[in-house]
Amino acid sequence: MIKKLLLLVFIAANISLKAQTIKNQATFRTLKTATSLLEAQQFEAAEEYFRKGLQSARQFKDLYCQAFACEGLGNYFTKTEQPDSAAAYYTKAIALYKTQKLTLSAAIAENLLKSVQGIGDTFAGIEVGARGIKLCVIEVKMNKDRQFDYALKTDTSINTDAASLSYQSEKESRDAISRLMEIAVKRFNVTAKRTYIVVSSGLKQELDKYEKVDYFTQIIRPKNLDTSIHIGYITPEQESELSFLGIVPPKTKFSNNQLDIGSGNTKGGYFSKERKFVPVNFSLGTKSFQRLIETKTNGSVDVFAKTAEQVIKDSLNKVMVDELVTKADFKARDAVYLSGGIVWCITTLLHPHSAAVNNYTEISSADIAAFRRRVATDYSGLIKPDLSLIKSYEDVVSAEKNLTRAVNTYDQKAMLAGSIWLDELVKHINTINPGKKFIFPKYAYVGWISGYIIKKVNQQFTGALR
């Protein structure tokens, strides 16, 4: 799996200039012209200006402009697919930056060098959730377009019942973290500084009821865990922003929304016109909504559906209205990146081919409403979609595997509860712009860790501004 993520890395020329005096402004103007030509894909002219600038910088013994020129030539050779030459110039730029103690510029050039060498960094994220503990190992590489590509090396989970707070569940959680850490370290050589262990927002909400969050993070910590690894926790608001950063393509960051329909809660948000993240959160998710219905009825599927609809009408409609009433931007935008187990289930059963092979699958509000209806009226047909139009045998195998997982994960009542909650929520989201698209990102379940990585990478560079 490959997915492009944002790398907010800029060559901070103005910052560098504060620490380093330009000895010849004409030389620097030549190099800035070369940079502009490179961005305009005028490659021959760009190379000529970079070489001219480098020659002038050497004449005036201007180390900063020499480094800038070497980095520029590295960029030129990268864009023209000459990796050996690019690596040679990046190496020169790194040495020149370090000589001047320009650590930020050197760090950027080192990342560019790794890019052309095909070297990536491997990160591990362990999410401790209410229903299980999940490991994702991701290799991150920068591509020639100066974006991060990440490849999911593995993802696996161990079922636990962490929210029960029993001695047995605490031991199971501790043992699970140990086993998953062993996979990350022994199979993928992930270092401690690139390992993140986080208690999910949904589980944190459960633990907060008993004021047990800090106790829990301590009691589940394996004795042999590297002392530099901190077991933390995140709020729904933090998880929303991290998931957004990891899921929504960078170019649509300020025009699209994201919403995750979790088992314990529903969380998401958007970036405002002021470029601040605005969270959208509900304390209910698919599983918690199902439990709420089950406290009121143990009847048939029909009775279950009618009870769920009554609960929505009596109280939850107001909850949705109250959360969205001041967030017209969220309702007005054209697309929502929609994730979560029930969204995956709906996409898998209604669009089995796309769900199995594509990174993104568009679903409509009509799809969600149809799924809700068919769970109650045509369940046997719903869980056995026609795969005859899929031509590739490998794709059929992938689709069948996906379908089996979906049906084994969600029984009829779970599907019904999830689809009712989602359908009613979508109706509220669509009150301003009913034609919006809903997009299911296949790898959304690693969204928080990829978002966490992006944030850490950005902090590496933005920290120099403080």
Mean pLDDT of 77-101: 95
Q: Inform me whether the pLDDT recorded for 23 exceeds 60.
A: yes
Q: Inform me whether the pLDDT recorded for 314 exceeds 80.
A: yes
Residue 333 is predicted with a pLDDT of: 93
- pLDDT band, residue 331 (cuts 50/70/90): very high
Residue 205 is predicted with a pLDDT of: 85
Residue 338 is predicted with a pLDDT of: 95
pLDDT in tens, 199-213: 988 889 889 988 999
> Between 3.40.640.10, 3.30.420.150, 3.10.20.310, 3.30.360.10, what CATH number should domain 247-450 receive?
3.30.420.150
Q: Which CATH class is domain 121-234?
A: alpha beta
> Between 2.60.120.10, 3.30.470.10, 1.10.1470.10, 1.25.40.10, what CATH number should domain 2-117 receive?
1.25.40.10
pLDDT in tens, 389-448: 999 999 999 999 999 999 999 999 999 999 999 999 999 999 999 989 999 998 887 777
Residue 464 is predicted with a pLDDT of: 47
Q: Inform me whether the pLDDT recorded for 374 exceeds 80.
A: yes
The mean pLDDT value of the chain amounts to: 88
Mean pLDDT of 326-348: 94
- pLDDT band, residue 7 (cuts 50/70/90): very low
Model confidence, pTM: 0.72
pLDDT in tens, 146-194: 666 667 788 888 988 887 888 999 999 999 999 999 999 999 999 998 9
CATH topology identical between 121-234 and 247-450: yes
Residue 304 and residue 307: Cα distance in Å, rounded? 5
Annotated domain spans of the chain: 2-117, 121-234, 247-450
